[in-house]
Amino acid sequence: MSTVATLIADVELSAPTAITLPNGTSRVLALVRWRGVPIGLVALDGNGEIPAPRLRDALAARVHPPDPPCEPAPPAAPLSVVVCTRERAEDLVRCLDGLRPIAAAGHEVIVVDNAPLTDATATVAARHPVRYVREPRVGLDNARNRGLREAQHPIIAYIDDDAVADARWVDALAQPFADPAVGCVTGLVLPLELETQAQHVFEAYAQHRRTFTRCVYTAADTRPATAGVVGVGANMALRRDLALRLGGFDPRLDAGTRTCSGGDTDMFARVLDWGASIVYTPHALVWHRHRTTDAELRRCIFGYGVGVYAFLTKRLIEGGDLRALVVAARWLVGPFLRAARRRFAGEAAAPVRLLLLEAAGAAAGPARFLAEHRRQRAA
């Protein structure tokens, strides 16, 4: 795959302006908005500059204004934003800079420093309008639970430290909670940059999970074992009282443990089990910095496979959910079929080597979950 960088552009459909491409860049991935609301993603080729008339014609052929037109969400009541982090100061600076307007609007921002090895995170947090807390037990779900306990507001939004919140992220994420049946909300995740081969590969891997259509999930139409379809933990919000009632996030899952990932999916499944609904809204947008090197990408994708099967193992063993066996079988085949369809259509698709790596992680998932369970029980 070519390593030529792709420019990430932000275009307002009602009044598009010319896009200037840096030297050596001939591709653009444009987020298209209508009155500030994200409505689509368009890939374009160009050289030097894409003039406004050409851009307008290209967008009009692929993306259409919504009918009725969507409006930006109204300002949200104060909520708590939790950023869990561990020794990633450069990413954290970018994330917290993006959260400054959110803090200025009256929302609480909590930085959870997970089992720190240095004072780098504390130093970054001290330069931002945030509340800093340490969670000594290693593991992303331990950090999420610390943020859950520390939060002062009834709605808690989680954003990864390698993501940057869009201007109206909090407002859009909070809006669906006006319905008391909603227990969780997830949002859209787009690439912050596409500069390396690994980032382009991850984008090809992740794009099939992305939609600009609002979705509502309930246990009546979405089996909890398939809860991974509702969104990702890099961009999610929960009712605090419900999350506490469910016992918080499972510390046997996700980063910092043998299971590598899966803590967000497990929480989504238990929200559905409880009987609450989950809303996905593309209006709640964060920009994610994809892994920049092949080694990081390989660890990430292998970890995704481990986490999925660790979650399904928990559903089967502890919940008696036989549907987990069906999901496990379909999950192994699905990515390869989607990749084949995309290649047949001439579109970018995840490399087979990456899908095989994810499958290898899945094969290790059950044993890793049981090993992590034993380790934490002994501890």
Homologous superfamily (CATH) of 80-294 is Spore Coat Polysaccharide Biosynthesis Protein SpsA; Chain A (3.90.550.10)
Q: Which pLDDT value is given to residue 205?
A: 87
Q: Please report where in the chains the tokens 């300002």 appear, as a residue.
A: 75
Phi and psi angles of residue 83, each rounded to the nearest 5 degrees, phi first: -115, 115
Report the percentage of the chain scoring pLDDT > 70.
Answer: 97
What does the pLDDT average to over 197-209? Answer: 88
pLDDT for 1 beyond 50: no
What does the pLDDT average to over 359-377? Answer: 96
207 CB burial (10 A radius; 0-12, 13-18, 19+): middle
Indicate the domain borders of the chain: 6-62, 80-294, 301-378
**What predicted TM-score, i.e. pTM, was given to this entire model?**
0.95
Report the percentage of the chain scoring pLDDT > 90.
Answer: 83
DSSP E strand boundaries for the chain: 6-12, 19-20, 27-34, 37-45, 49-50, 80-85, 108-114, 131-135, 155-159, 163-165, 182-191, 215-217, 235-239, 277-288
Note the Cα 307 to chain centre separation in Å: 15
Higher pLDDT, 347 or 248: 248
What does the pLDDT average to over 211-238? Answer: 96
pLDDT for 2 beyond 70: no
What does the pLDDT average to over 135-146? Answer: 98
Six-digit token string for 26 = 């001939």
CA distance 231 to 253: 17
26-73 confidence digits (pLDDT tens): 899 999 999 999 999 999 998 889 999 999 999 988 998 888 888 889
pLDDT for 338 beyond 80: no
284-318 confidence digits (pLDDT tens): 999 999 999 999 999 999 999 999 999 999 999 99
At residue 332 the predicted structure's pLDDT band, cuts being 50, 70 and 90, is: confident
Beta bridge partners of 239: 155
Residue among 357, 367, 310 at smallest CA distance from 336: 357
What does the pLDDT average to over 232-255? Answer: 98
What does the pLDDT average to over 161-188? Answer: 98
Q: Tell me the torsion sign for CA atoms 230, 156, 311, 207.
A: positive
Let me know: does 350 contact 335? Beta carbons within 8 Å.
yes
Q: How far lies 72's CA from each of 87, 234, 256, 284, in Å?
A: 35, 22, 37, 10
pLDDT for 328 beyond 90: yes
